Structure 1
Amino acid sequence: MTAIPHENVLRWLAGIGRRIATSLGKRPNIALESLILLVSAYFVAVTNTAFWKALSATGVLEGSRGLALVPSLAVAIMGFHAAVLAAFLNRWIAKPALTILMVLTAAVAFFADSYGVHMDQSMIRNMLKTDASEAAELFTPGLLGYVFVFGIIPTIAIWRTRLIVVPWRRAAFRRITFIMSMLALTLTAVLATFNDLSPLMRNHKALRYLIAPGNYIVSTAREIERQRRPKKNALHVVAPDAAQVAHAPGSKPHLLVIVVGETVRAKNWGLSGYARQTTPQLASLDVINFQDVTACGSNTEVSVPCMFSPFGRRSYDQDRITSSESLLHVLERAGVRTLWRDNQTGCKGVCDGLAFESYREPRKDDHCDSQACRDAVMLDGLHDAIDDNPGDVVVVLHQLGNHGPSYFKRYADQFRRFVPDCRSADLGSCSRQEIINAYDNAILATDDFLAQAIRMLADDASHDTAMIYISDHGESLGEANVYLHGLPYAIAPDTQIKVPLTAWLSEGMVESNGIDVSCVEARSRMHASHDNLFHSVLGLMQIQTNAYERDQDLFADCQRPPSSGRAGLGPSEKQRPTD
């Protein structure tokens, strides 16, 4: 082989360098419609991998007809996005708008790929209500790297283009023609495989919430429209006839603590048969654990208002629930003082206009660090907060609990029993077992918190006391490659909607309500749900109202004539709440 002269090699390399430099210095001219089409194609091919994986998991892609569905769907999704973008973008705002869209879509794709997050309206509502501290935990290296590669780099390419300038009449004609062409292309692609596509979208409706960026754009628009609807100046009155049955002379007032847990699933709850004992302290106390409990929602924004409403999941109507009074308003009207202590992002409207204390901001306390406080801080000074009230009191403690993905931040070192545990908010950097270990350690911290609350109530000599603990929703920990929570309720797995419910009753509360504890323990093996909370609390606090449903009260069928001789709670024949 003849050797290439040294100077020829240098000249050859220099030529390559000049060509690369010239290429990098060029800014290609491109029509806006062409840019929109390229961006739309990029979305379909690159930032929708979660959708394509979920589609494949349905089994519809098997066989020749299934394979034909892929190009048809790809063309339909691309055409639809291109038509919508072309309808709103012009030469002056195109690049800034596409920059925002690229970055947001990359972020949405990260959470869809990594955690199986579906961007439906409920998820958008959660995001809008997230505070700065909670949001900061989501900005992990994994997210930032993903956004840089799939959002920032393509955006740089967009900014390097020069948009071709054409006279406005020609531009308008071209734009209308482009939009009509894209809509026609979309319709043609849909009709080509309609027989397969129609049942797919009917039976797997949640797939649409994985198609980015359309998923979060449409869901955001719907949520904004919902929030802009005229709101009533006052909440719709629930149970206007609510009145408390008088206690027997000489009896003590009632104190009920309702602990609203965060993101604890029944599957990992020690009292419910989990292989690990994640509730050792509760197991040593005289508690009643309900074995089969279904949450009203798969996220806090849905579940918390729902569980404090008389309408519940069986009559679920979000607007009706959020525009109506809650259980706490009914209790206040009947003469029971209420207090909401919060270590989360608020009471979600449940305590509007009522006593509220937030522990979300870090403070000088042994339970707090520079970023947040652990739940035990809500027990500090609790008796001082209610001692000036001579009557009955209901206190709600809203936990930070097992809120992810930073499970490791929810427990002190003394509860770091299951190791190695994931010590990062970027779950992708940990093994699934490390994530489960951290999650279980956080349950140990909740177990300790509840045990402290029970001991405090047991030492209370001035009240007949009780505690009800119920988690707002569960959590996925890698089952079917899904993490966190918030899937649309119709497809949410049991890990996200099956939750623990545990009650503790003092001897005084048992006696004053005439409760047969062994009967309640038998009842605990039957199905229960968030819908039971409203009526069970009315029963325990001896509130008489037509809104009370005896068959929804977890304790009602286990009541015997009490020694105090109190009156009955209300009409047992009532089957539906009235307002």
Structure 2
Amino acid sequence: MQDPTPETRNTMLRNGLPHFALNLAGATYIMALLNTAFWQRLMTLFEGDLLAAIGLAAAVGALTLLLLELIGPSVLQKPVLAVLILISASANYFQTTFGVFIDEEMVRSTLETTVAESRHLITASMVLKIGLTGVLPVLILWKIPVRRARVIHQLWRYPLGVVVSFALVIGFLFTNYKTYSSVLRENHALMQSYQPGATLLSVAKFIKNEYATGRIEVAPLGEDVAQGAQLSNSDKPLVFVLFVGETTRAANFGLEGYERNTTPNLAAREDVIYFPNTTSCGTVTTVSVPCMFSPFSQDDYSRDQYFASENLVDVISRAGFDVQWWDNNTGDQTVMQRLDWAKVDATWDPDACAAGECTDAIFLPLIDQVLETATGNTLLILHMIGSHGPAYFMRYPESRAQFTPDCRSAEFADCTDQEIINAYDNTIIEADYVLAGAIERLSQAQNVDTAMLYISDHGESLGEGGVFLHGLPRFMAPDVQTHVPFLVWLGQSYQSRFGIDQTCLESNRNSGTSQDMVFHSMLGLLNLDTEARNPRLDITTACSADAG
């Protein structure tokens, strides 16, 4: 058979590609070039069996084709294909660069992040890679002519395309069904790395759960709460500061035993009680923060349950405390949805905000103000920016950087592994400066009793196993993302008034702690009596004068 003449080829080009052919080309491109993480996991699982790997990849590629046929009929084809290419290119970049998964909580974190945080992720490398693998192919796609069937022919062409695509999925799967079904059942991470499927499914789950959340009726919690004798029988207010840390991993925290002394100021104090081996509820802020303020344990926690119940701040507010939430991060994470919260004000300390974003030193003048003006029992919740990446260098002033050279870029590819670690460790040096500064101020207060608790929301990966940042599903997250620092400081007058034995707390600090204990321990530390408090999850139970 003779090759088409130039005239014939020009005629074919003018007539355009068949609808199915363009979808096949698009699905092949997405599968072959925009699923790097999927291919890496697939080849690891099928090491030594290339044919089986190709068979499963073909089935997943056919799934992409099915998706295009299903949601992109007729004139919707190009817009749908363009969106899926852009989604896949973006997800592929973040998966291969940071080793993250695009799940429901990652979608939620992305939508709730601040402009300041998100702009650090927009690097030259990101723009270049997504531009070349996503934007450029979409521009080419838009120039490709497509042969459109008449409306009456769409009545049979659309279902035929869907059926053929579905048949391809089933056909490839059944070439080795026993093996493939076992792999898919036991290795969820494989399909969680598949794009655009994983992202689309996560967005769908997010929308569904957000809709369901808006219809949930909130049950009251701790309606029986009452002030204990030590709290009520005093004319001196209590000011308790609760620091909610951000992205600080225990592995690099000096008090945990890290080889570098990243917490010199805290280590110099004999009155700081540090609880090693503390675990987080999740690996992202949107899970860990609501979870630790809820009465539910990690095993029982769900977002629906959280929204169906009041939380810690509601109970404490009901007990007569002035509950204040000041934020230097991504907001209150709905913890204060029935109360007020506010962002920090750069005018409190212009030097702390000189770089355009405030370091956590911005909280120190606020603590001074609260200590000076407090006339009633006060819970001051301070949500830190902590060690949030990838722009670690923005979390501390250069004048307090102890580990150099440090990575001065949000693009990790511009830095060595050691420079990244140096920058991260400097963020903990800054946290140490802020926490120790807060303790110094609290210890000098004369008009109020004072105490403080600090716990980070989750940890961070610094390149171990090729993973950076955080957010891996908890069932597969490395220890560095779930092992967090946790400490308590109790003022002398506080200890005398509330009868909490610091030596006792010290002796029990190695017993194993988690964010499950924050809700119950805060009630114990504030001397609030309620059936909502579980004594077994309260660190003060065995060490309080009225323990029980």
Q: TM-score range by the shorter chain?
A: over 0.9
Q: Return the match for 2:239 from 255, 259, 272.
A: 255
Greater shift, 398-407 or 168-177, is seen at 168-177
Q: Return the match for 1:271 from 236, 249, 255.
A: 255
Q: Is the 8 A contact 1:287 1:503 kept in 2?
A: yes
Q: Is the 8 A contact 2:355 2:394 kept in 1?
A: no
Structure 2 letter corresponding to 1:469: Y
Offset of residue 450 of structure 1: 0.5
Query: What does residue 480 of structure 1 align with?
Result: 465
Is 1:493 matched with 2:467? no
1:62-95 Cα distance to aligned partner (Å, 9 max, x none): 33xx323311221111111111211111332322
User: 2:506 and 2:14 mapped to 1: Cα distance?
Assistant: 74
Cα distance, 1:107–1:393 mapped onto 2, change above 3 Å:
same
User: 2:84 and 2:146 mapped to 1: Cα distance?
Assistant: 18
User: 1:502 and 1:295 mapped to 2: Cα distance?
Assistant: 14
| Structure number with bigger Rg | 1
Q: Return the match for 1:547 from 497, 520, 532.
A: 532
Q: Return the match for 1:229 from 212, 230, 233.
A: 212
Offset of residue 429 of structure 1: 2.1
Cα distance, 1:27–1:281 mapped onto 2, change above 3 Å:
farther
Structure 2 letter corresponding to 1:348: Q
Q: Is the 8 A contact 2:213 2:304 kept in 1?
A: no
Is 1:290 matched with 2:275? yes
Unaligned runs of 5+ in 2: 1-5
Alignment of 1:135-534 (within 5 A): 135-229=118-212, 231-232=214-215, 235-247=218-230, 249-250=233-234, 252-285=236-269, 286-359=271-344, 365-369=350-354, 371-385=356-370, 388-534=373-519
Offset of residue 382 of structure 1: 3.1
User: 1:133 and 1:86 mapped to 2: Cα distance?
Assistant: 39
Helix, strand or coil at the partner of 2:351: coil
User: 1:62 and 1:249 mapped to 2: Cα distance?
Assistant: 70
User: 1:477 and 1:370 mapped to 2: Cα distance?
Assistant: 24
Structure 2 letter corresponding to 1:276: R
Query: What does residue 43 of structure 1 align with?
Result: 30
Q: Return the match for 2:82 from 89, 92, 99.
A: 99
User: 2:494 and 2:199 mapped to 1: Cα distance?
Assistant: 49
Offset of residue 355 of structure 1: 3.4
Q: Return the match for 1:127 from 110, 120, 123.
A: 110
User: 1:400 and 1:349 mapped to 2: Cα distance?
Assistant: 17
Query: What does residue 3 of structure 2 align with?
Result: none
Helix, strand or coil at the partner of 2:488: strand
Offset of residue 381 of structure 1: 3.4
User: 1:108 and 1:62 mapped to 2: Cα distance?
Assistant: 25
Cα distance, 1:178–1:440 mapped onto 2, change above 3 Å:
same
Tell me the C-alpha RMSD between the 2 structures.
2.2
Report how many residues are paired: 538
Offset of residue 548 of structure 1: 0.9
Q: Is the 8 A contact 2:294 2:312 kept in 1?
A: yes
User: 1:428 and 1:315 mapped to 2: Cα distance?
Assistant: 39
Greater shift, 28-37 or 526-535, is seen at 28-37
User: 1:529 and 1:554 mapped to 2: Cα distance?
Assistant: 10
Query: What does residue 89 of structure 1 align with?
Result: 72
Is 1:108 matched with 2:91? yes
Greater shift, 70-79 or 465-474, is seen at 70-79
Offset of residue 444 of structure 1: 0.6
Offset of residue 388 of structure 1: 4.9
User: 2:506 and 2:266 mapped to 1: Cα distance?
Assistant: 15
Greater share of helix: 2
1:132-191 Cα distance to aligned partner (Å, 9 max, x none): 221111101111111111112212321221011222233332222121111111112222
TM-score by length of 1: 0.89
Q: Is the 8 A contact 1:41 1:78 kept in 2?
A: yes
Structure 1 letter corresponding to 2:90: A
Offset of residue 359 of structure 1: 2.1
Offset of residue 53 of structure 1: 1.2
Offset of residue 341 of structure 1: 0.7
Greater shift, 350-359 or 434-443, is seen at 350-359
1:207-257 Cα distance to aligned partner (Å, 9 max, x none): 222100111111101111111226258632111111111337456332211
Cα distance, 1:28–1:444 mapped onto 2, change above 3 Å:
farther
User: 1:423 and 1:93 mapped to 2: Cα distance?
Assistant: 44
Offset of residue 517 of structure 1: 1.6
Cα distance, 1:166–1:376 mapped onto 2, change above 3 Å:
same
Cα distance, 1:289–1:238 mapped onto 2, change above 3 Å:
same
Q: Is the 8 A contact 2:248 2:456 kept in 1?
A: yes
Offset of residue 555 of structure 1: 1.9
Unaligned runs of 5+ in 1: 1-18, 562-567, 573-579
Offset of residue 196 of structure 1: 1.9
